[in-house]
Amino acid sequence: MHPSQYQRATDATQAVAAVAARPTAAFVAGGTSQLDLMKEGVLRPDLLVDVTPLALTTISPLDGGLRLGAGVSNTAAALHPEVQRRYAAVSEALLAGASTQIRNMASLGGNPLQRTRCPYFRDPAQPCNKREPGSGCAALGGYNRVHAIFGASDKCVATHPSDLAVALSALDARVQTTGPNGPRSIPFPELHRLPGDAPQQDTTLAHGELITSLDLPAFDGRSHYLKVRERASYAFALVSCAVALEMDGKKIRRARVALGGVAHKPWRLPAEVEAMLTGKKPGEKLFRAVADKAFAEAKPLEHNAYKIPMGRNLLVRALLETSGLQPLQGPAGTAFAASVGGVSGEVAAR
C-alpha cells in the first residue's frame, strides 16, 4: 500500500488549504470506496485530510426544502422522517445502494464522488484512461456488459455508480461547496461531467473543493427510485431510474427523470423528453412513448445492448409506480420500493 500521511481537520478552511496545497492530497470521510481503491493501488494520495470532525452532520429546513449536511451518514439520511416523507426517492436510493454496514459509515458528501465500478479501472494491470490518461480504454474492446450507452467517448465508456446521485439529479438538488476560491453553489446535474478527452476528471470540482451540503428544493409531488441489479441483496445498478412528478389535478404539471447505470454521470433526460409529460394525463401509452424517445439515441457496445430494452421497461415501470397507476412493491421511502431485485429477465423481456 502506498504510504500516506493522515491529518484531522479542525475547520473547513484549514481542510481546504491542506488539500489544495498538495496535488495528490484528498479529503476522507467514511472512506468506504476510497480506502478500497487505495488498497488496490488505484488511488495513491500522499495526504488524507479527515473531514469527519467538521460540523456538517445535521439535516435542517431550508427555504421549504431540506439541507443535508455532507457529513451525515447514508443511514441517518435514509431513515430521516422528513426525507422519507417528502423525498422518497432519496431514501429509496440510499437504502438500495449498499449494505447496512456500509451505509452506517458512508457520508452523503462522499457518496456522489464514488469512482466507477469498471473492472478495468480497478485493475492496475489493465490500461485505463481514467486511471492513467493516455494508456487506453480496455473496456472498449473488452467485456463491457455493465458500461455506458449514453455520453461515452473513445477514451472512456465507464458508468457512474452512485444511486443517490441519480435521485438528486431528478430532484434538482444543489451542491454547496467551499474551496480555494471560496463558497460555490452547483446545480446537481452540473456536478459530474462526461468523459470526453479527460475521463480522469469525474466532476467539475476544483482540487481542494469540499462539499459541505446537498440541498433539496421545496417539492410537493411524488418521487421514486427504482433499480435493477444482478442480485437482490446488494449490487450496483445495471440500470436505475429516479422520477419526480408534480401534479395539477389529474395531469402532470412537471416531470423530472434521471437514469443510472447508463452513463459516466447520472443521465438526466433531455428537456424535450421530460416536456412530453407536461400537461398530460398519466398513462402507459404516454410513458412508453417517453421511454422510446429517451433511449432513441443510445449507443450500445458489444455486450450491453440489453440495457436499452431493460432501461425502457424500467422507465415505464418507474413512471407507472410514481404516478400511482401501478402499486409500489413496498412502502415508499424504503428499499422494498426501490429494488426490482435480481435480474430474472422480467424487466428486460416485457
Residue 37 located in a structural domain: no
Residue 320 located in a structural domain: yes
pTM: 0.95
Q: Which residues constitute the domain of residue 247?
A: 224-343
Residue 248 located in a structural domain: yes
Residue 134 located in a structural domain: no
CATH label of the domain that carries residue 319: 3.30.390.50
Residue 291 located in a structural domain: yes
Residue 5 located in a structural domain: no
Cα within 13 Å of Cα(287), Cβ side: 26
Residue 269 located in a structural domain: yes
Separation CA 331–CA 345 (nearest Å): 24
Non-local CB neighbours of 320 within 8 Å, separated by 6+ positions = 282, 284, 287, 326
Give one word for 28, left, alpha or beta, with left for phi > 0 and alpha for psi -120 to 50.
Answer: beta
| Interval 236-288: pLDDT, tens | 999 999 999 999 999 999 999 999 999 999 999 999 999 999 999 999 999 99
The average pLDDT across 187-210 equals 97
| Interval 123-162: pLDDT, tens | 999 999 999 999 999 999 999 999 999 999 999 999 999 9
Which helix (H) or strand (E) segment holds residue 253: the answer is strand 251-260
Residue 162: name the closest of 140, 191, 197, 142 by CA.
Answer: 191
Separation CA 227–CA 271 (nearest Å): 22
Residue 182 located in a structural domain: no
Local confidence band at 113 (pLDDT 50, 70, 90 cut-offs): very high
Number of domains, the chain = 1
